Amino acid sequence: MIAVIDYDSGNVRSVCKAIEHVGSKAVLTSDRDTIFAADGVILPGQGSFADCMEKLRRFRLIDILKRFAESGKPFLGICVGLQLMFEKSYEFGEHEGLGIIRGSIRRFPQKKGFPVPHMGWNRVHITRKNRLFHSVDSGSYFYFVHSYFAQSDEDQIAKTDYVVEFTSAVNVDSLWGVQFHPEKSQRVGLRLLKNFCDICEGNL
């Protein structure tokens, strides 16, 4: 069973539907016991970094997410969910994240012809072989909506070019994060979510 974290961040039900579409069971929950008992956790995110962190505090989820990350069971952050996994973000000030992955979150610099937020389809280039991208071709298109990105060369498993070359996927032990939205990325996104479910179920 995959626990999709419910903390009033938006877009969570589409993640659940995508998980069920690839043949796994998803539960949308903010219950601490249910989260810790899950085979894997997905932390979606939508909106500002600080607002999402405040909602995690309000739902009393920060400690349980850190405990789950330390347990060795698979954990996937999506979009702002990836950003929350890092130590800090500089979105409208400086804000502390979950700190389960080293690094920080920065805003895209201004560049003529490149509107921010970065919105739409873009190529994801795999930089390190990884189970999350099993049967996914490097250079595949995924769907993005974001104004900030992770600085994480050390833990990078995929990169994308928009304004600058930025990290679009990371992996540290049993922790994964993707800046794009696999649940909105059609066939290739479903393949990635299927891979994560297979990792959770011990099949990959």
Place of tokens 């909105």: 184
Structure token pair of residue 77: 């952050």
- Cα–Cα dist 149/147, whole Å: 7
Cis check for the bond before 74: say yes or no (omega within 30 of 0). no
- Cα–Cα dist 139/51, whole Å: 32
Say what the alpha-carbon torsion angle 76, 61, 149, 181 is, to the nearest 10 degrees.
Answer: 50
Which amino acid makes up residue 25?
K
Which residues, at least 6 apart from 145, have a Cβ–Cβ distance to it below 8 Å?
A: 79, 117, 118, 119, 181
Is 98 in contact with 65 (CB distance < 8 Å)? Answer: yes
- Cα–Cα dist 179/144, whole Å: 7
Catalytic residues: 79, 181, 183
Intra-chain end-to-end CA distance of the chain, in Å: 16
